């Protein structure tokens, strides 16, 4: 029986690539025969509410199908048809059954889930060979109820035509939520009829910062703006609704409100004149907590609610400095009047008032995880972006949660070799990292898992100016996330996913969707041993080769094939690339390896880096790689609100003349040089022989174009104690001003 099954599978595979659907269905049972698409001439529906689904079946792939008079309302099932039938017995989340028989195609589900079945059918039709598709039975349903993608249209604005295209690609992958970020410091993008100045003044900034030129600021000297009329909003909402996608609007409060304050300064604590921000980051000026602010917000939300039927309204709630509230008599009086402990509880009071208002309108509030600070509003849901802890805290107290930790779900991060990728905000979120994500935190009690609604990918557009760039950053990570949110965890396998993704790219090409090829990129792992430095090269692509060079030349189809770990005996450059059938794929991997006297040293007694920026582990500091800029978390370790502290044991006593400490300076990402570095040097008898303490001004002065602080040593050393203290508070005028700074280090080299 096993041999027969194998022969049957391979005969069917000649007709259609098996299991090409993304996201992967729960179950596909292949049958013996095939269906000729030539025979499909008609669609029959069992209920009039399904009539509109005719437009979503890709009739261009059915040779003899004509959209004119080809959809029929009937309960009978003649041959040579596609039938759509509501089946109330299918009760799991978005459950459907798709049967491809020898003479017909049958789809059963709910009104909503039949749409998802059609999305699967369209993919099968696209991959059909010789107008034939394998007979099969697909039984499918979703793992999570919130399967979302976000888009920031404030930092850069995108027309309705593109928003529809974005929604189409969500629909193809069975995503069901579009989170539309409509207001922020840099612009107000939604028409509010009662407050026309929001778009007359707040929608346009005077210019936009060039790349990452924060200090000194460099702008493009070009006014930038745009907004959606209420009619356009209705058009988008209706378009999404037909594709079973809920549009969740985000109206930022109390922070990220400079665009609104520019239009109506009386809403601020200082009543000063403002203009929409021309750079990115966080502003100290936020909404005040007086009655006029709440009247304004209620009025705005009234119009928003009328436009968006979504049960959730996103109110932001993130990155709201309390400096103005501390100085504001009205805010301080509110703290006293309502018996609040501090400004954090004042924010909770603010959010709770909005929560209560939305509940009177039969809507629910959702906000970023900062809304937990000071106490979570009674009915609020949390979108957890600063890691998973906020989501765990909210779910533990029986609040709904959408997971979108920056470590796995921020699609504005680099996804491949930063030397060849377009400019991004930072970070390093690969396709595999997205695919391996589990929205259910491992530390969450099992009885609280029901409060995790799902997850979403976030596309912030500070450095994404064009429609093509948006798609490039989203795709194919959106494909990976769709499978995380739709397919059972037990059904997921990254290698199988990439096998299906390669032909899926053909479908994206047909739809003129730009996507990244970073999945083909060669990855590297380094390890220092007593005998030297060793480099492992790998990729995630089956049936491929990695070819490499060690002389700085570009690999070709005749270059040496990588088969085993490479010893690096001297400072050199390794280049490598993936090849499939002798054709290069992805970007060329290129890495400089720097051999120094700390390679292979034992490191202990350290304060662990932040979980989000510890991808390579502590031995990243002695792997011979000085981190690149633009930076990725793989090369850089990050500490937040804690010192970097470690002990380095050399293999033997060595003459050390200089010490190179590679620190990152990236103010736009809240990453600053340390406030102080202290190094203690010990001899072979474990005796302290010297101490170096370097303060902020000297660090700044000695920091060079190689991203390094150089320390003169001239000692025989066996052990080093190293401590770097992060900058306590980010200076005014910088992104994240007033908050703690990140400290990033990639290498500690001894020469």
**Helix, strand, coil in percent for the chain, rounding step 5:** 30, 30, 40
Rounded CA separation 455/179 (Å): 11
Q: 374-404 burial, b if ≥16 CB within 10 A, otherwise e?
A: bbbbebbbbbbbbbbebbbbbbeeebbbbbb
Rounded CA separation 642/740 (Å): 10
The angle that helices 230-242 and 291-307 make with each other, rounded to 10 degrees, is 50
Rounded CA separation 173/543 (Å): 26
For residue 154, what are the CA distances in angstroms to 132, 190, 200? Answer: 46, 10, 15
Rounded CA separation 248/7 (Å): 49
Q: 204-241 burial, b if ≥16 CB within 10 A, otherwise e?
A: bbeebbeebebeeeeeeeeebbebbeeeebeebbebbe
CA angle 744, 729, 406 (to 5 degrees): 50
Convert the pLDDT of each residue in 192-230 to its tens digit.
999 999 999 999 999 999 998 888 899 999 999 999 999
Instruction: Mean pLDDT check: name the lowest of 167-181, 301-315, 368-382, 730-744.
Output: 730-744
Convert the pLDDT of each residue in 611-621 to its tens digit.
878 888 899 99
Q: What's the alpha-carbon Rg for the chain, to the nearest Å?
A: 28
User: What pLDDT is stored for residue 638 in this prediction?
Assistant: 93
User: Which of 106, 131, 140, 184 is flagged as catalytic?
Assistant: 184
Convert the pLDDT of each residue in 156-194 to its tens digit.
999 999 999 999 999 999 999 999 999 999 999 999 999
Known catalytic membership, residue 319: yes
User: Which of 106, 252, 319, 483 is flagged as catalytic?
Assistant: 319
CB-CB contact of 168 with 126 (8 Å): no
Helix, strand, or coil here: 225?
Answer: strand
The residue with tokens 């030129």 is: 213
Other beta carbons within 10 angstroms of residue 694's beta carbon come to 18
Q: What is the mean pLDDT of the chain?
A: 92
Convert the pLDDT of each residue in 246-274 to its tens digit.
999 999 999 999 999 999 999 999 999 99
Known catalytic membership, residue 695: no
Task: Work out the pLDDT band at 18, boundaries 50, 70, 90.
Answer: very low
User: What pLDDT is stored for residue 300 in this prediction?
Assistant: 98
The angle that helices 343-360 and 291-307 make with each other, rounded to 10 degrees, is 40
Helices and strands, counts by H and E, the chain: 17, 33
> What number is the average pLDDT over the span 282-293?
96
User: What pLDDT is stored for residue 711 in this prediction?
Assistant: 92
User: Which of 156, 181, 256, 399 is flagged as catalytic?
Assistant: 256
User: What pLDDT is stored for residue 16 in this prediction?
Assistant: 41
CA angle 446, 447, 453 (to 5 degrees): 85
pLDDT over 70 for what percent of the chain?
95
Closest CA to 421 of 432, 413, 410, 433: 413
What is the CA 92 to chain-centroid distance, rounded? 28
User: What pLDDT is stored for residue 78 in this prediction?
Assistant: 61
Residues in contact with 490: Cβ distance below 8 Å, sequence separation at least 6, in sequence order: none
pLDDT at 238 over 80: yes
User: What pLDDT is stored for residue 68 in this prediction?
Assistant: 58
User: What pLDDT is stored for residue 12 in this prediction?
Assistant: 40
User: What pLDDT is stored for residue 339 in this prediction?
Assistant: 96
Other beta carbons within 10 angstroms of residue 103's beta carbon come to 15
User: What pLDDT is stored for residue 4 in this prediction?
Assistant: 35
> What number is the average pLDDT over the span 643-650?
95
pLDDT at 418 over 60: yes
Higher pLDDT, 356 or 670: 356
User: What pLDDT is stored for residue 658 in this prediction?
Assistant: 94
pLDDT at 2 over 60: no
pLDDT at 10 over 60: no
User: What pLDDT is stored for residue 74 in this prediction?
Assistant: 66
Rounded CA separation 204/716 (Å): 61
The encoded tokens of residue 215 equal: 């200090």
Higher pLDDT, 647 or 47: 647
Rounded CA separation 217/230 (Å): 35
Q: Which pairs from 440-446 meet CB under 8 Å and 24+ separation?
A: 441/388, 441/391, 441/392, 441/403, 443/388, 443/392, 444/391, 444/392, 444/395, 444/396, 445/396
What is the CA 79 to chain-centroid distance, rounded? 46
Known catalytic membership, residue 256: yes
Q: Which segment, 469-478, 590-599, 702-711, is predicted with the most confidence on average?
A: 469-478
Convert the pLDDT of each residue in 530-588 to its tens digit.
788 999 999 989 889 999 999 989 999 999 999 999 999 899 999 999 999 999 999 99
Rounded CA separation 82/70 (Å): 10
User: What pLDDT is stored for residue 122 in this prediction?
Assistant: 96
The DSSP string of 40-68 is: --EEEESSGGGGGGGGGS-GGGSTT--ST
Rounded CA separation 124/127 (Å): 5
Convert the pLDDT of each residue in 297-309 to its tens digit.
999 999 999 999 9
Task: Work out the pLDDT band at 11, boundaries 50, 70, 90.
Answer: very low
Convert the pLDDT of each residue in 486-499 to its tens digit.
999 999 999 999 99
């Amino acid at each position: 029986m096993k041999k027969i099954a194998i022969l049957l599978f391979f005969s069917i595979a000649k007709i259609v690539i098996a299991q090409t659907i993304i996201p992967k269905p729960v179950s596909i049972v292949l049958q013996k025969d095939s269906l000729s698409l030539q025979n499909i001439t008609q669609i029959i529906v069992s209920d009039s509410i399904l009539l509109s689904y005719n437009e979503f079946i890709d009739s261009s792939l059915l040779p003899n199908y004509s959209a004119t008079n080809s959809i029929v309302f009937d309960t009978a099932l003649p041959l040579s048809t596609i039938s759509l039938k509501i089946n109330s017995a299918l009760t799991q989340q978005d459950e459907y059954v798709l049967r491809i028989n020898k003479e017909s195609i049958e789809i059963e589900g709910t009104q909503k889930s039949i749409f998802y079945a059609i999305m699967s059918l369209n993919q099968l039709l696209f991959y059909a060979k010789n107008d034939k598709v394998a007979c099969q039975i697909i039984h499918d349903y979703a793992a999570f109820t919130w399967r979302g993608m976000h888009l920031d249209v404030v930092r850069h604005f995108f027309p309705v035509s593109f928003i529809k295209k974005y929604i189409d690609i969500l629909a193809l992958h069975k995503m069901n939520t579009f989170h539309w970020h409509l207001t922020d410091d840099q612009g107000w993008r939604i028409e509010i009829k009662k407050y026309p100045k929001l778009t007359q003044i707040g929608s346009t900034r005077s210019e936009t910062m060039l790349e990452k030129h924060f200090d000194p600021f460099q702008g493009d000297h070009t006014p930038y703006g745009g907004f959606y009329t209420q009619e356009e909003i209705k058009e988008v909402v209706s378009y999404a609704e037909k594709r079973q996608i809920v549009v969740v609007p985000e109206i930022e409060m109390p922070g990220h409100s400079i665009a609104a304050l520019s239009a109506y300064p009386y809403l601020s604590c200082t009543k000063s004149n403002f203009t929409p921000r021309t750079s990115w980051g966080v502003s100290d000026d936020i909404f005040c907590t007086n009655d006029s602010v709440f009247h304004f917000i209620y009025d705005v939300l009234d119009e928003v609610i009328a436009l968006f039927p979504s049960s959730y309204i996103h109110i932001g709630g993130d990155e709201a400095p309390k400096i103005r509230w501390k100085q504001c008599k009205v805010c301080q009086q509110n703290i006293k009047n309502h018996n609040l402990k501090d400004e954090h509880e004042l924010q909770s009071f603010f959010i709770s008032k909005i929560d209560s208002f939305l509940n009177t309108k039969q809507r629910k509030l959702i906000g970023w995880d900062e809304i937990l600070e000071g106490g979570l509003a009674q009915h609020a849901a949390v979108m957890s972006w600063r890691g998973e802890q906020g989501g765990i805290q909210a779910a533990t107290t029986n609040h709904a949660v959408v997971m979108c930790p920056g470590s796995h779900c921020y699609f504005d991060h680099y996804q491949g070799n930063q030397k060849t990728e377009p400019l991004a905000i930072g970070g390093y979120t690969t396709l595999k990292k997205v695919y391996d994500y589990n929205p259910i935190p491992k530390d969450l009690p099992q009885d609280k898992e029901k409060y995790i609604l799902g997850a979403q990918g976030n596309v912030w557009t500070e450095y994404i100016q064009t429609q093509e760039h948006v798609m490039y950053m989203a795709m194919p990570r959106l494909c990976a996330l769709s499978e995380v949110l739709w397919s059972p965890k037990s059904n997921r396998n990254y290698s199988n996913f990439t096998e299906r993704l390669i032909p899926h790219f053909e479908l994206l090409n047909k739809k003129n969707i730009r996507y990244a090829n970073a999945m083909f990129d060669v990855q590297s792992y380094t390890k220092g041993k007593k005998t030297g430095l060793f480099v492992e090269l790998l990729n995630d692509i089956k049936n491929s080769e990695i070819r490499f060079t060690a002389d700085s030349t570009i690999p070709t189809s005749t270059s040496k094939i990588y088969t085993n770990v490479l010893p690096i005996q001297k400072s050199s450059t390794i280049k490598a690339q993936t090849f499939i059938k002798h054709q290069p794929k992805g970007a060329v991997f290129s890495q400089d390896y720097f051999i120094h006297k700390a390679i292979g040293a034992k490191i202990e007694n350290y304060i662990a880096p932040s979980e989000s920026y510890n991808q390579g582990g502590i031995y990243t500091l002695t792997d011979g790689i000085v981190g690149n800029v633009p930076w990725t978390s793989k090369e850089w370790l990050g500490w937040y609100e804690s010192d970097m502290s470690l002990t380095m044991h050399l293999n033997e006593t060595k003459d050390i003349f200089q010490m190179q400490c590679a620190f990152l300076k990236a103010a736009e990402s809240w990453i600053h040089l340390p406030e102080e570095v202290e190094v203690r040097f010990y001899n072979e008898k474990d005796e302290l022989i010297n101490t170096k303490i370097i303060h902020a001004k000297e660090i700044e002065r000695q920091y060079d174009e190689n991203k390094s602080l150089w320390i003169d040593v001239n000692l025989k050393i066996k052990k080093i104690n190293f401590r770097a203290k992060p900058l306590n508070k980010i200076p005014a005028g910088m992104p994240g001003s007033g908050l703690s700074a990140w400290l990033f280090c990639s290498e500690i080299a001894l020469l």
